[in-house]
Amino acid sequence: MNQVNSNTLELQELGQVVIRFAGDSGDGMQLTGNQFTRTAAQSGNDVMTLPDFPSEIRAPAGTVSGVSGFQIQFGNKVVNTPGDYPDVLIAMNPAALKVNIKDVKRDGFILLDRDAFTEKNIQKAGYTVDPLSDEALLNRMTYQAPITSQTLRALEGFDMPKKAKERCKNFFTLGILFWIYDQPSIHTEEWLKKKFAKKPSIAEANIKTLKEGMIYAQNASMFQAQFKVPQAPVKKGTYKSLTGNQATALGLIAASERAGLKMFLGSYPITPATDILHEIVKYKRFGVKTVQCEDEIAGICATLGGAYAGAFAVTTTSGPGVALKSEALGLAVITELPMVIVNVQRGGPSTGLPTKTEQADLLQAMYGRNGEAPIPIVAAKSPSDCFDQAIEASRLALKYMTPVFLLTDGYLGNGSEAFKIPRVEDLPDLTTTHRTDPENFKSYSRDPKTLARDWVKPGTPGMAHRIGSLEKDRETGCVSHDPENHNYMVRTRQAKVDGIANDIPELEIYGDQEGGDILIMGWGSTFGAIRNSVDKYRVEGKSVSQAHFTHLCPFPKNTLEVMKKFKTVVIAEMNLGQLHKMIQATYAHKAIALTKIQGKPFTEAEIAVVVDELL
Amino acid sequence: MNTQAKKYTKKDFVSNQEVKWCSGCGDFSILSQTQKVLSEIGRPPEEITFVSGIGCSSRFTYYMDTYGFHTIHGRALAVATGVKTQNPDLSVWVAFGDGDGMSIGGNHFIHTIRRNLDIVCIMMDNRIYGLTKGQYSPTSLRDQITKTSPFGKLEAPMDPVAMALSSGATFVARSTDRNPKHLNEVLHKAYQHKGFSFVHVLQNCVIFNDGCHEPYVGKEKADNTLMLKDGQPMIFGKENDKAIVRDGFDPKVVNVADVDASEILVHDENSSSQGQSYFLAQMSEGKFPMPMGVIRQVEEPTYDGAYTEQIAEITAKQGQGDLQELLDSGDTWTVE
C-alpha cells in the first residue's frame, strides 16, 4: 500500500474551520462527516457537528429535496457551535451545490465531484446552465475533482459490482479532506475494519478508496496548501463523540443506576427523538424495560404504570407527541409520580418541520395541560450537556415525586460534540428508596421539606392504597370533592414545584459580574451562538454578557437580581418570544425579544443585528 | 393454594369507601364476585393491583382493598401495560366499561391483547355512557334511542368479543351480572389463564339503559343463550331441545330431534384454530343464542414473561450492565 507523503507542501495553520458535506441522501454524507469529526477530535481539536437531512428517507435522487448535509466546526479553541457558514463545501452533485453554495464564505472553497455534473443531474437540480461553466454562478474558489471515476479506477482489481464501487466515493472525498487538513486516516481505517469485520472485502475497498483520495489530493497539484488546525486546550481526560440524543440516553441510564432503580421507558417513534429509544433499547443488560407502544398516549401511560410499579420512568417524544400526552401529564401531576418526559423539540405547529430545530414548545411544557398542573422544566444547552441535564431532570423527578420536562431540540439531539467521560462516583447520588414502613402511612403523606409524597410500590405488605385522577383528600388519599381540600391540594402541588427553586443552581453571569450594558439571556440550544457573539463583543471591549437558563420552571431565585444589573436585557430564542413572555409575566422586567423561527439555529450575525443597535 | 385460600375472606378485599353506584346497578354484583373470587384465590391483597379508566365501572378500583390506579379515560390498559411489564409478579386486573375499552381506548384494547399481557380484563358492558348521563356507546344497538341519538343510533354495534378474538386474545369469555355463580367460575378461569384474559360481562344500567340485556339474563335467557362447556355439545333452550350445527361457514339453530347427534357442534375451548371462536363470535346478533362462558383459551407466550426471559438471556450473554464500562465504551480518545 502506498504511503501518503505530505512533506512537499508547507502547512498553514488555521484557528477554526467549518466544513459542510452535502450530497444525495444516499451518498453517505452523514457517515463521511462523522468520520472526519472522529478523526479531528482524536487529533485534539474541539469539535461540534450538525447533520441536516431531508425528512424524506430517499427523496428522488439528484433533486434539491434529496440533499443531505452534515456540518462540522473544528478548532484550536473551545468550539461552541457547528459554525454558521462553511469555509468548505463538499458537493457530491449539482443539487448539493445549488442548495448550499449561497452559504459558503466568500473566501471559502468548494470541492465537488466533477463526474456527477452530467447534463441529466444538472437538469434535475434545476439549473438551466451548467453551473461549472458559469463563473458568476460559482463565484467561489472551486476544486473539480473526478471523484466517481477515480474511485472506480482505484477499485479496478476489486470483484464488486460497479454500483457498490461507486458507493465508496464518499471515502475518496474523505481522503482528499484528510490530506488537505493533515489528518491521519488510521482512525477511519480501524473503524472500517471493525464495522465490516464480517465483510473484510468491503472494508478493504473503502480503505483503498480513502488512501487513493489522499494520494490524489497530493499528486493532483490542485490544492495550493495544506492546513493544520492545532490542538485545542481541551481538558485532560478521556473523550468520545456523542450526539445530544445519545448523551440524553446515557444520562438517563446513569440516573437510573445512580438512583438504584430499574428504568422503564414507554415510547413511540417520532423524529427527532427516536434515537434516544434506539440507544436505550440496547441497555437491557441493565434491567431496562422499554416498550414501543401503540401510540404516544400509551407511551406515557405505560410509563406512568412503570412509575407506579416503582421504576425510574421515562418517556421520550417531540412536540406533537407531547400534545398527545398532555392529559396523562396531568395524571402524573395529580398522582405525584416521578417521571422524566424528554421533548426533543422540532419545528411546529402540527407536523411542522420534523427534521428541523425550534424552541417553540416551552409554553407547551409550561402550560399545556388542563387545570393547575405545574411541571418543572430543565433544558440542555449543548449535545454533551444533554447528559448532565438528563441526570438533573431525573434528580428533580425522584426527589420531588413529580413529572419533569427535559427540553432538548433537533439541533442538540442530532448535533454532536466531544463528551468528557465522567467517573461514575463523580455523578450525583440519586439513591431513591420506596417506603415500606406501614406505620402511620397515608397515601398523601409528604416529606415536610420537599413536599414529596411517599412512593409505595404495589406488592408492599400492609400499605395497599388507591391513587388516581380524581382529586384526593390531603390526608386519607380518598376521593374528595371538598372545595377547601382542592384549594389546599392545588396550592400544595404548586408549592412543591416552586420550592425546587431552593434546590437548583443560581443563574450565572458570563461577563460583567457586577452588571453592564447588555445581558443576552437564552435557554437551551442557543447557548453556543450567544456565547460566540458575547465573546466577539467582549474582545472588542464592549459590555455584553450572557446568562443562560437550564432551569425554566421554576426560575433560579436570583433571576430578577441578575437582570437588574444590566441596562438592557435581550432574550434570544428560536420561537416568537416564549421565554420572554414568561419573564415578563413573572418579573414584569423589561426585556427585548430577539427571535428567529426558520428551523435553523441563530448565527452570530443575526444576534449582532439587534445587539449592535443597542450598543 | 387451598391452604392459603383459607386465609382470606371477601371482606379482606372490600375497601372502606362507600360504593356510589346507583341502587340496582349491575356493577355491584360484578364487584362482589370479584372480591369473592380474590378471597378464594387466596393471594394477599398487596399482590393484586387494579387499574381502571373513567366511567361508572372504573370506580371499581376505589372499592377494592388492593393496590389500585384509577387512571384517565380509555387508558387503563396502557397503564396496566407499564405496571405488569415492570413487575410481572403482581396480579394485575383491569376493570372498565364499553366506552373506555371499545371507544376512546380501542387502540389500547387491540394492542394490549396482541401483546398477550398477562392480566385479567373485565369489561362491564351496559351499551351506554352512564357517567355522562346516557349517550350511546360503541356497543349500543342500531336504532337505539339515547340522549345523543333521539331519532335512533345510525351505527352498527361493536362486539367486544369479536374484537378481542380478532386481536388474537388467548382467553375470551362472556358472563353476566345476573348470574353470579357463572361469573365466579369465569373469573376463576380468567385468573388461572396465563396471558390476556378478557371477560365480557353483560351489565345492566338501571338508569339509562335498563333491561338492555334482558333477553340474555331474564326469563327467556335459556332460549337466548348458549352456555358453553368444554367438550360438550352446543345444546340450549328451556327444554334443552335446540342445538347449533354448521351450515357452510355459518351457524344454524336446529331442533335436537331433527338432527343426528354427530352433527351437533361440540365446544372445544382450547382449539388452537380461531375457526371455532370466530364462528361463536358471529352468534351475538339476535338471531342466535348468545354464547356464554369460555369461548377460547389457548397458551401463547406472554409479553411480560417473554420480557423477563429476554432480559435474563441478554444478561447471561452480556453480563450485568456496568455503568462505568458503558460510559467508557465506544471510540474514545484521551487528552493527556
For chain A positions 151-170, those within 8 Å of chain B (CB to CB) are: none
Give me the pLDDT at residue A222, please. 81
Distance CA A141, CA A224 (A): 11
Give me the pLDDT at residue A387, please. 98
Q: Does A82 touch chain B (CB under 8 A)?
A: no
Q: Among A134-148, A402-416, A505-519, which stretch is predicted with the lowest mean pLDDT?
A: A134-148
Q: Give the pLDDT band (50/70/90) at residue B103.
A: very high
- Which CATH number is B2-222 given? 3.40.50.970
- As beta bridge partners, residue B121 has B94, B198
Do A470 and B82 make contact, defined as CB atoms within 8 angstroms? no
Do A464 and B46 make contact, defined as CB atoms within 8 angstroms? yes
- CATH superfamily placement of domain A11-228: Pyruvate-ferredoxin oxidoreductase, PFOR, domain III (3.40.920.10)
Provide the mean pLDDT of chain A: 94
Please give the residue of chain A at the shortest CA–CA distance from B105.
A298
Give me the pLDDT at residue B4, please. 47
Q: Give the pLDDT band (50/70/90) at residue A477.
A: very high
Q: Looking at the predicted structure, is the pLDDT value of residue A301 above 60? A: yes
Q: Is A241 within 8 Å of B335 (Cβ atoms)? A: no
Tell me the mean pLDDT in the region A269-297: 97
| Sign of the torsion formed by the C-alpha atoms of A321, A324, A329 and A331 | negative
A497-508 per-residue burial string, b: 16 or more CB within 10 A, e: under 16: beebbeebeebe
Q: Among A229-233, A486-490, B121-125, B170-174, which stretch is predicted with the lowest mean pLDDT?
A: A229-233
Write out the three cell numbers for B70: 384509577
Q: Give the pLDDT band (50/70/90) at residue B335.
A: confident
Please give the residue of chain B at the shortest CA–CA distance from A255.
B323
Of A250, A262, A459, the CB nearest to B327: A250
Q: Looking at the predicted structure, is the pLDDT value of residue B67 above 60? A: yes
> Which residue, among A585, A586, A583, has the nearest Cα to A594 in the 3D structure?
A583
Question: CA torsion angle for A93, A94, A97, A100 (degrees, to 10)?
Answer: -100
Q: A340-384 pLDDT, tens per residue?
A: 999 999 999 999 999 899 999 999 999 999 999 999 999 999 999
Q: Does A426 touch chain B (CB under 8 A)?
A: no
DSSP A345: E
Percentage, residues of chain B above pLDDT 90 = 93
Question: Comparing A11-228 with A240-426, is the CATH topology the same?
Answer: no
Contacts of A420 (CB under 8 A, 6+ apart): A235, A237, A238, A239, A384
Of B46, B62, B78, the CB nearest to A459: B46
**What three-state secondary structure class fits A549?**
strand
Give me the pLDDT at residue B6, please. 56
Tell me the mean pLDDT in the region A138-143: 87
Do A467 and B69 make contact, defined as CB atoms within 8 angstroms? yes
Which class in CATH covers the domain with range A240-426?
alpha beta
The DSSP bridge pattern shows strands A466-468 and A516-523 to be: unpaired
Give me the pLDDT at residue A9, please. 64
Give me the pLDDT at residue A191, please. 92
Q: B224-270 pLDDT, tens per residue?
A: 999 999 999 999 999 999 999 999 989 999 999 999 999 999 999 99
Q: Among A166-170, A518-522, B230-234, B280-284, which stretch is predicted with the lowest mean pLDDT?
A: B280-284
Q: A24-83 pLDDT, tens per residue?
A: 988 899 999 999 998 999 888 999 998 877 666 667 888 998 899 999 999 999 999 999
| Sign of the torsion formed by the C-alpha atoms of A325, A327, A330 and A331 | negative
Q: Looking at the predicted structure, is the pLDDT value of residue B161 above 90? A: yes
Chain B positions touching A369 (Cβ under 8 A) are none
Q: Tell which wins on pLDDT, A444 or B336.
A: A444
Q: A73-111 pLDDT, tens per residue?
A: 999 999 999 999 999 999 999 999 999 999 999 999 999
- As beta bridge partners, residue B94 has B51, B121
| ipTM of the shown complex | 0.97
Tell me the mean pLDDT in the region B12-16: 96
The structural domains of chain A, with segments of one domain joined by +, span 11-228, 240-426, 516-614
Distance CA A318, CA B246 (A): 53
Tell me the mean pLDDT in the region A111-130: 95
Tell me the mean pLDDT in the region A310-330: 98
- Domain at A516-614: CATH architecture: 3-Layer(aba) Sandwich (3.40)
Distance CA B243, CA B265 (A): 8
Provide the mean pLDDT of chain B: 95
